[in-house]
Amino acid sequence: MRIVFDARFTRTDHHDGISRYGASLVAAVAGLADVTMLISDERQLALLPDVPHVLAGSPLSPAEPFIARTVNRLAPDVVFSPMQTMGSCGRKYALVLTLHDLIYYQNRTPPSFLPLPIRVLWRLYHLAYWPQRLLLNRADVVATISDTTASLMSRHRLTRRPVRVVGNAPQASAVSRAPGGEPERSLLYMGSFMPYKNVETVIAGMAGLPDYTLHLLSRVLADRRAELEQLVPDGATVVFHDGVSDDEYNALLAGTAALVTLSRAEGYGLPVIEAMAAGTPVVAADTPIFREVGGSAALFVDPDDPAAFTAAIRELGSPDRWHRASAEGMTRASAYTWERSARQLLDAAEEAVRLYRQR
């Protein structure tokens, strides 16, 4: 099977969630099928595997609806896009489009890195579900990354096409915990600082944890950082890293007491599975997606209750409880691999080809 993988949403400097998902998935699939990547900037190759590639237009270009003119010349059996916005006019191949989550229907603030015109369209797009239906129904098969999102798509009747899960997975950690090693009295948060991420409650919970340090790892805009710094309780220690490398992230995961996230909405929550794979316990918001990913291994708390967050961290202060959570997390994470995700993608691709040929 000849697969063209749309890698044009890969970042050029550092991965975000979708960029890492795409790069990891194409690397796994390339070992099982004939894969060619579409890129829009040769700098993206620094974050992509060594796979044949073709330079194409930006996915944000006004010419995007007609990208099939370029793709048709590659004669693929199927195209897989890790986004749902890939153009399809005049396509002569099967198509799998991906919807990661429905977060922006409740939280309409668009990612800040997008150009202003795109951010305006983003807000308008998420005022109703019918534009999403128009996009998804252009595919032969629609992929998503979790059963939770698949259920939401069904509830809102977002597509008439088959919906298949092509899951996320953790990166192979470069640093492993020493067996029986004791954690530092530190906590990690990895994620954006958009309002729905609810970092405010994590910071408020630090009022009862003066002997712990909270590390906020991701890049943060200066104005947003100033807002959050004003919320740090007296006596609490909160460190803003404003971005870390993969090696730094792995090293921090291997030493910390817990990864924490009280986000109210996620399509998957990759840091949760990454932490568990490293043997790091997780304290997470009690939401369906975190329940799906964390299973019985994570500690779940009310995302609006700082005291509950504090109590969960104190619970992990017991060495026996911490080691049990660490071991259960590693077992849970072992079920999520990129090889498994690649097989899921190939199954979705084969289904898409069959449906396309039946037209």
pLDDT digits (tens, 9 = 90+) for 143-189: 999 999 999 999 999 999 999 999 999 876 545 666 666 789 999 99
pLDDT digits (tens, 9 = 90+) for 58-84: 998 999 999 999 999 999 999 999 999
Report the pLDDT value the prediction gives residue 112, as an integer from 0 to 100: 67
More confident residue, 183 or 350: 350
Average pLDDT over residues 248-260: 93
Summarised one tens digit per residue, pLDDT across range 225-241 is 999 999 999 999 999 99
- Determine the pLDDT at residue 180: 62
Determine the pLDDT at residue 104.
80
Q: Does domain 2-169+337-357 have CATH number 3.40.50.2000?
A: yes
Residue 231, pLDDT score: 97
Q: Return the pLDDT at 172.
A: 63
Distances (CA, A) of 349 to 22, 77, 94, 111: 15, 9, 8, 29
Read off the pLDDT of residues 294-321 as tens digits, 9 standing for 90 and up. Answer: 999 999 999 999 999 999 999 999 999 9
Mean pLDDT of 123-149: 92
Does the pLDDT at position 209 exceed 80? yes
Sign of CA dihedral 134, 139, 141, 143: negative
**Distance (Å, rounded) from C-alpha 231 to C-alpha 350?**
51
| 82-128: pLDDT as tens digits | 999 999 999 999 999 999 999 888 776 776 667 777 778 877 777 88
Average pLDDT over residues 129-154: 95
Calculate the average pLDDT of the chain: 92
Mean pLDDT, residues 29-35: 95
Q: Does residue 332 surpass a pLDDT of 50?
A: yes
Averaged pLDDT, 315-330: 94
By mean pLDDT, which of 10-24, 71-85, 203-217, 273-287 is the weakest? 10-24
| Exposure on the CB side of residue 211, measured as CA atoms within 13 A | 6
| Residue 39: band (very low, low, confident or very high) from pLDDT cuts 50, 70, 90 | very high
CATH architecture of 186-333: 3-Layer(aba) Sandwich (3.40)
186-333 shares the fold of 2-169+337-357: yes
Return the domain boundaries, the chain.
2-169+337-357, 186-333
